[in-house]
Amino acid sequence: MLLRLVLIIMCLRFVPVYAQEYRVGVEGESYPPYYNVVDAEYLGFFRSILDAFALDQGYIFNYVTTPVNRLNMSLRDGIIDIRVPDNPNWYKS
């Protein structure tokens, strides 16, 4: 019985754990120090916070820079999973 338990525990150590990946849509403009876009790479304070959260929760964030006027459409169409920054008032008619 103990041998079975030890074998199960040893096998579980080698089971790959896959992080959940999300496409994060971000504005393709700079607003320092909160966020900057340099050569389509998202940088700045918001990125640091998002990366720390992703690391803590076991997520992987892939940043997609998009013009501001396309962010809502990209979210609606499933091109991105999350929009940053976001505000519920932006969706009211």
Beta-strand runs (E) in the chain: 20-27, 36-38, 41-43, 59-66, 82-84
Contact in structure between 27 and 35 (CB atoms under 8 Å): yes
Residue 82 pairs in a beta bridge with 24
Q: What domains does the chain contain, in order, with CATH numbers?
A: 19-91 (3.40.190.10)
Q: Give the model confidence (pLDDT) of 53-67 as tens digits.
A: 999 999 999 999 999
End-to-end distance of the chain based on CA atoms, in angstroms?
A: 64
pTM (predicted TM-score): 0.74
Structure token digits, residue 88: 């519920």
The residue-averaged pLDDT of 77-82 equals: 94
Give the Cβ contact number of residue 47 at 10 Å: 19
